[in-house]
Amino acid sequence: MGEDAAGQLAGEAARIEDSFDFAAVPDAFQRLWTPHRMVYIGGEGKPPSDAEHHCPFCDIPSREDADALVVARGDLVYAVLNLYPYNPGHLMVVPYRHIADYTELSAEEAVEMSRFVQRAMTALRLAAGPQGFNIGINQGAVGGAGIAAHLHQHIVPRWGGDMNFMPIVGQTRVLPQLLAETRALLAEAWS
């Protein structure tokens, strides 16, 4: 390749194209739009780091079950769908009492929380047939808790192959069902 051709190619490669030039150009890709995720990504509606002043887990029990995505209520804890689920059917068990640390649970709260995790697994198996579960508590902000001021335990149903390319490449989770529909199925399976 001659010097002029190499210079011309380098000049072409250095050209920066405006993405708006391609906004209406069809290609072979199908797109999955999830604009509702921008609320989570942007942090809108998330409680402040000192959730003592506004705690969604303290507000949920005063709302109607369907509106708040509550699946079941106990004496000391309740089960609620995660508003930003990792997988379909992602539940959380939350004590009514506003506490941040697992060691603050009373013996009675710990027992009911454990029983609710068992019942959540049973309900999820009846409603959706998961092949496994991730169950855990992200303790504290550094431990990954999105709402560190109010303790909650996650129950995430898992299926073989559920971690496809979407979360890795597209940083998007595909949920095949609306949360209200999932809540209704799980509430029915719970009883």
Tell me if 18 is assigned to some domain: no
Q: What's the burial of 176, exposed, middle or buried (CB within 10 Å: 0-12/13-18/19+)?
A: exposed
Tell me if 17 is assigned to some domain: no
Q: How many domains does the chain have?
A: 1
Return contacts of 111-114, CB within 8 angstroms, 24+ apart. Answer: 112/74, 112/75, 112/76, 112/77, 113/76, 113/77, 113/153
Q: What is the CATH number for 178?
A: 3.30.428.10
pLDDT at 67: 93
Distance CA 88, CA 154 (A): 13
Tell me if 11 is assigned to some domain: no
Tell me if 15 is assigned to some domain: no
Tell me if 22 is assigned to some domain: no
Say what the pTM is: 0.67
Tell me if 49 is assigned to some domain: yes
The pairing of beta strand 132-136 with beta strand 153-158 = antiparallel
Structural domain of residue 48, as residue ranges? Answer: 27-190
Tell me if 7 is assigned to some domain: no
Which sequence positions are flagged as catalytic? 152
Question: What pLDDT tens digit does each residue of the chain (191 aa) get?
Answer: 555 555 555 555 555 656 555 555 666 655 555 565 566 556 555 555 454 468 999 999 999 999 999 999 999 999 999 988 888 899 999 999 999 999 999 999 999 999 999 999 999 999 999 999 999 999 998 888 889 999 999 999 998 877 654 454 455 555 666 778 888 888 888 88
pLDDT at 165: 46
